[in-house]
Structure 1
Amino acid sequence: MRAAVPESTVERMTNSSLASRVAAGRAARKLITRSSTGDWTPPPDRRDPMAILQKQAATRLPGLVPIRYGRMAASEFAFLRGAPAIMAADLSHSPNTGLTVQLCGDAHLSNFGLYASPERRLVFDLNDFDETLPGPFEWDVKRLTASIAVAARQNGFTDECGSHAATHAARAYRATMARLAGMSELDVWYRSVDATMMLQLAKRPKGRREVEASLSEAERHTNLQALRKLTGPGPDGTPRIRYQPPLLVPFAELGFDRDAEEETIRRVFTDYRSTLQEDRRTLLERFRYVESALKVVGVGSVGTRCSMALLLGETTATPLFLQVKEAEESVLAPYLKAGRDDHQGHRVVSGQRLMQATSDIFLGWASGPAGRYFYVRQLRDMKGSANVPEMDKTMLRAYGELCGQTLARAHARSGDRVAISAYLGSGDSFDRAMGRWAVAYADQTRVDHKALMTAIKTGVVLSVDA
């Protein structure tokens, strides 16, 4: 029998390991100082933002690309939401800390939200992982803080307000990472953000009413509610998808052969089932596939092949709506060497499971025809999001802080939380830098949004409101 390691030896090993991790974090300050993380000046060889968007459009469904441009044109915040590829290219021009975590890749304010845990409890977390990939932690923080400054402008607030809110979000990230650095691995892994924490953000009665309304709305977003909204009775009485052009359309409307696409969906489902845990695969097999349709979602994702599938339970015809979404290469991939995954659907799912405290029980991936990759999740499962355009100054700052805390917890699951905390330190250098970065990149977003508006006005690209 192997002898137990003396407690004193374990303590020395632990202290030595912690010391080396702290040293690694502080050494990263030599690669990029905390104050210089807030610098942004467009490089002379900066890529044309419209060229980046048009390159993405080349792989999208042509009939849906004008909707994407229309949604991005709606506001500077909408543009930022749809342009993670532009920011990824910009971030690659600057040195980074080398402190690697599983990045969300698109951690703006509207990609945090509510959803149901497997225990049917509302939780708050990141909820979009199309661009997830391992990379330097500060890239996600920069995406988050830039979105706060852009949202502040959209809501009519000053840049001072936007910088202040972004600074507080970065401070919340730093403080949370410091707390997590002192916690055990299991405590960090099990840590989650209960949705009721959102109520603590509301300092005023109006804000509390808005949060309560968001929670109540999320609880109503169930498969039964979706059944009433998205379907109608078919010829035999079985629910059928109710088309809502141009956002929910039959395959034929975009030039696809309906039968061929239905067969593709069925093959994808066969592949998808094999990626589920055995117990969840058993549950899925108790539903029968009815039909599917193309569904437009989000802003940046518009134009990718995204289907909504309707399934019905065998016993009581309980509806189950699944989203089958195409996964392309992450916009971060050209700039990061680590974490390349040949199967893009698997990349999205593994990144989501790594970053979220708890994930959808039906989350899985599949391969499609012509070298395409997909991931699958529930379309509606008590999902909800904050109404960023309606936030006042106090609520925007508080919500940004919650997102900063949540992002730190997500990063701590995969990255070296001790090293990151050591890099950030106990002062506010990083916080203030992120406040500067946020406003500087909001200026860049304004310039890029104007470029899109010019391209639309001159007919370079076609825009449709939908």
Structure 2
Amino acid sequence: MSLPLTRHHRPRQVMEAIHTANAHLDADDQRTKYAKISASPYAFFRGTNHLYWADVWHDWRFSLFGGQVDTQTWLQGDAHAYNFGAYGHHDDRVRYGMDDFDDALIGDYQYDLWRLSISLVLDAEENGVSRKTLRRGLKHLVLSYHKTLARYRAGESPGHVSVDTAKGPLKPFMQKVERKKSRAKMLDKWTVQEETGRRLQREGKLINLPAHLDSQLRKAINEEYRSTLKGELSDAGDAHFSVKDTARRIDAGTGSLGLERFYVLIEGGKDHEHDDVILDVKEQPGPAGLVLMSSAGKRAWKATFPHEGARHAAAFRAIAEHPDIYLGWLHLGDKVFSVRERSPYKEDFPTHKLDSGKAYRQLVKQWGAILAREHLRGAAALAPDDPGRFARAVGRQVDGQLDSVVEMVSTLSLSYARCVAQDHQTFVEAQAAAT
């Protein structure tokens, strides 16, 4: 058989992109990650965000209902169904929204809306949701997003989802999180009380750090991280940040699997029954979309954000409804790490337990509204002297055309989900052939 005239075809593109994106992982981490993304098309989608960005970065369809300077905002960057969840930090109040900004970047709003819609398809197919219910869900997701922007243009202030304001299936879910989770229970899970004091639990997903790395991390917490804090903790005393213990966090995440990650136990304040605080220290290599920027775009990005720790913090403070007061960064060697508190209330909504089309629609409507509110906040952070500019610009692009917007996003989502399923099968077959 003669060689193909071109080696440019989808299976080869997919495999080369995955191997390039994961070349930095050691053999064990790579095997673990590849096993995770082999599990299903949705798991594959979550673990290959770089494929999504490579596919949509120059997609002409973004010009139909956006594609303008003023339709850009801070993007979540990895919007999918399981990046929504319950969370809560220093005030011990349970909220619901997006709480992961590792891939956040500035771009057209549609990139987030498309990715979230695609994840809706993949999650629905994994859970056996009917095509009719799925299509209705996509419609309600898109309409909820744009109606939230329209209400903002009409003068309504964006709200947030709490135990008091949650609707449909979210309300009992959040009530359960509030009832079942607490700071004390989190500390019981991740720490042990010894005669010399509390330390991190060394079973399961936490392991010891080498002495030199433990020393470097403790030093970075006190000499760099504390200087990056803003707000009420910027003047906290040495006792508050006294480091009790450190450990390496392993086997966390899907797309982020293999990145360096540590837990640091500090003394914290005295306002809680258990005053200790766990800091989550996570390597930040940069958002998946960053590599697709032009050379000029990358230079402008670097001039704005000297490193990815600063970018992560800027995005978090811009997008999040309730930014973590422990948010900051530090360096270890040539790597930069975000620092934030580990939430005592972190919990994903179990979409596989939705038992009716009505409950499904109620949930996705809230996803659309949450994403819109995040984009409104992100855009306001970029243009503080004209915070309504983004909503007006999107409105000019979509007003009178919402049916066409729904049809375009639905068609794109369904077809791209099929592409993900094919790519997943390509990957699974390649893995089987390699063993």
TM range, smaller chain? 0.7 to 0.9
Task: Report how far residue 323 of structure 1 moved.
Answer: 0.3
Does the 8 Å contact 2:186/2:344 carry over to 1?
no
User: Could you say which residue in structure 2 is the equivalent of 1:288?
Assistant: 242
Structure 2 counterparts to residues 26-425 of structure 1, below 5 A: 48-95=13-60, 96=62, 97-98=67-68, 99-116=71-88, 119-183=91-155, 187-188=157-158, 191-198=159-166, 200-202=167-169, 211-218=171-178, 220-234=180-194, 236-245=195-204, 247-251=205-209, 258-270=210-222, 271-277=224-230, 279-283=232-236, 285=238, 286-295=240-249, 296-313=251-268, 318-336=275-293, 337=297, 339-340=301-302, 341-369=305-333, 371-392=334-355, 393-415=357-379, 416-425=390-399
More relative contact order, 1 or 2 (CA 8 Å, 6+ apart): 1
Does the 8 Å contact 1:114/1:218 carry over to 2?
no
SS of 1:292's equivalent in the other structure is strand
Query: Aligned partners of 2:55, 2:135: CA distance in 1, in Å?
Result: 20
Please list the CA deviations of residues 71-96 of structure 1 after superposition, one character each: whole Å capped at 9, or x if unmatched. 22222222212121110111113123
Does the 8 Å contact 2:231/2:325 carry over to 1?
no
User: Could you say which residue in structure 1 is the equivalent of 2:422?
Assistant: 447
Does the 8 Å contact 2:269/2:276 carry over to 1?
no
Does the 8 Å contact 2:184/2:274 carry over to 1?
no
SS of 2:288's equivalent in the other structure is coil
Structure 2 residue identity aligned to 1:75: S
RMSD, matched Cα = 2.5
Q: Which moved more, 1:148-157 or 1:426-435?
A: 426-435
Query: How many residues end up aligned between the 2 structures?
Result: 397
Structure 2 residue identity aligned to 1:68: K
Query: Aligned partners of 1:177, 1:346: CA distance in 2, in Å?
Result: 28
Structure 1 residue identity aligned to 2:213: E
Does the 8 Å contact 1:289/1:311 carry over to 2?
yes
Query: Aligned partners of 1:406, 1:309: CA distance in 2, in Å?
Result: 31
User: Could you say which residue in structure 2 is the equivalent of 1:34?
Assistant: none
SS of 1:130's equivalent in the other structure is coil
Task: Report how far residue 162 of structure 1 moved.
Answer: 2.2
Query: Aligned partners of 1:425, 1:130: CA distance in 2, in Å?
Result: 32
Query: Aligned partners of 2:237, 2:35: CA distance in 1, in Å?
Result: 37
Q: Structure 2 vs 1, CA of residues 153 and 118 (structure 1 numbering), >3 Å: closer, same or farther? A: same
Please list the CA deviations of residues 26-67 of structure 1 after superposition, one character each: whole Å capped at 9, or x if unmatched. xxxxxxxxxxxxxxxxx9679722322222222335432322
Does the 8 Å contact 2:73/2:378 carry over to 1?
yes
Structure 1 residue identity aligned to 2:125: R
Query: Aligned partners of 2:244, 2:392: CA distance in 1, in Å?
Result: 50
SS of 1:274's equivalent in the other structure is helix
Structure 2 residue identity aligned to 1:192: H
SS of 1:105's equivalent in the other structure is coil
Q: Structure 2 vs 1, CA of residues 178 and 219 (structure 1 numbering), >3 Å: closer, same or farther? A: same
Does the 8 Å contact 1:82/1:300 carry over to 2?
yes
Q: Structure 2 vs 1, CA of residues 159 and 276 (structure 1 numbering), >3 Å: closer, same or farther? A: same
Q: Structure 2 vs 1, CA of residues 343 and 127 (structure 1 numbering), >3 Å: closer, same or farther? A: same
Query: Aligned partners of 1:145, 1:351: CA distance in 2, in Å?
Result: 22
SS of 2:315's equivalent in the other structure is helix
Does the 8 Å contact 1:218/1:384 carry over to 2?
no
Structure 2 residue identity aligned to 1:66: R
Q: 1:433 aligns with which of 408, 423, 426?
A: 408
Structure 1 residue identity aligned to 2:398: L
Q: Structure 2 vs 1, CA of residues 124 and 278 (structure 1 numbering), >3 Å: closer, same or farther? A: closer
Structure 1 residue identity aligned to 2:432: K
Q: Structure 2 vs 1, CA of residues 451 and 323 (structure 1 numbering), >3 Å: closer, same or farther? A: same
SS of 1:48's equivalent in the other structure is helix
Structure 2 residue identity aligned to 1:395: A
Task: Report how far residue 351 of structure 1 moved.
Answer: 0.6
User: Could you say which residue in structure 2 is the equivalent of 1:16?
Assistant: none
Task: Report how far residue 399 of structure 1 moved.
Answer: 1.6
Q: Tell me the TM-score normalized by structure 1.
A: 0.79
Q: Which runs of 5+ in 1 are unaligned?
A: 1-42, 203-207, 252-257, 461-466
Q: Structure 2 vs 1, CA of residues 348 and 62 (structure 1 numbering), >3 Å: closer, same or farther? A: farther
Q: What's the % identity of the aligned pairs? A: 24
Q: Structure 2 vs 1, CA of residues 458 and 214 (structure 1 numbering), >3 Å: closer, same or farther? A: farther
